[in-house]
A and B are shown apart, each in its own frame.
Chain A
Amino acid sequence: GESVGLHLPTLSVQEGDNSIINCAYSNSASDYFIWYKQESGKGPQFIIDIRSNMDKRQGQRVTVLLNKTVKHLSLQIAATQPGDSAVYFCAENPLGGNKLVFGAGTILRVKS
């Protein structure tokens, strides 16, 4: 898809607070969703995934919520730490498709 430009949304949180990063996906037929974290100068790193037959999945300090009714995905990070500062991308895989479609990303800044 087309990129949305140079101004990524930014979320600033205080160290120790919880963070919620949101993503609106485009294809109602998508059946697999992934969150990635990308630090400056590095490749995206897998955080957590969820399939469309679930609406919540928890990992270590992270939770992904899926609302298929409104095509919305969120990533919750508990007790946010300075090392969590990065750009976060959501990605969707349309049912039967071979390609992941990435969102534009959200910058997370953690203030100490």
Chain B
Amino acid sequence: DGGITQSPKYLFRKEGQNVTLSCEQNLNHDAMYWYRQDPGQGLRLIYYSQIVNDFQKGDIAEGYSVSREKKESFPLTVTSAQKNPTAFYLCAGRDNTNSPLHFGNGTRLTVT
């Protein structure tokens, strides 16, 4: 099946540890995005990438890092510098600015 695959679905970490969330796609999307969602709130953009080996900061990039070494993969690292890392993280991709985002089913990260 084609789609955006995020893993794992649930992730638990101790405070002070870096953690990497996986996002893989087989839809041949050029652009990929990471969003953060907090309970009862909308989606806030962390990072996005329009092409391999290039990415831009979104609205809340502090404490996060990404890489885009290949088209199919866009992993997100939540670093220890992120003050409130517990959240639901969503990865998405799309072909161009005139097409909708396709989302994965998210990773729920809990940091204690």
Contacts and interface: CB of A to CB of B under 8 A. Distances in A.
Contact of A102 (B40, B43, B56, B108): B43
Given A32-B97, A44-B90, A99 B104 contact: no
Given A32-B98, A51-B98, A99-B58, A42 B106 contact: yes
A93 interface: yes
Interface residues of B, number: 30
B20 to A, nearest CB: 19
Given A89-B43, A98-B50, A43 B38 contact: no
Q: Kindly name the residue among A34, A42, A49 whose own CB sees the greatest number of chain B CB atoms within 10 A.
A: A42
A70 interface: no
B2 interface: no
A97 interface: yes
B100 A34 contact: yes
Contact of A49 (B33, B38, B44, B100): B100
B34 to A, nearest CB: 12
10 contacts: A4-B41, A32-B97, A34-B100, A41-B108, A42-B105, A43-B92, A43-B104, A46-B102, A89-B43, A98-B31
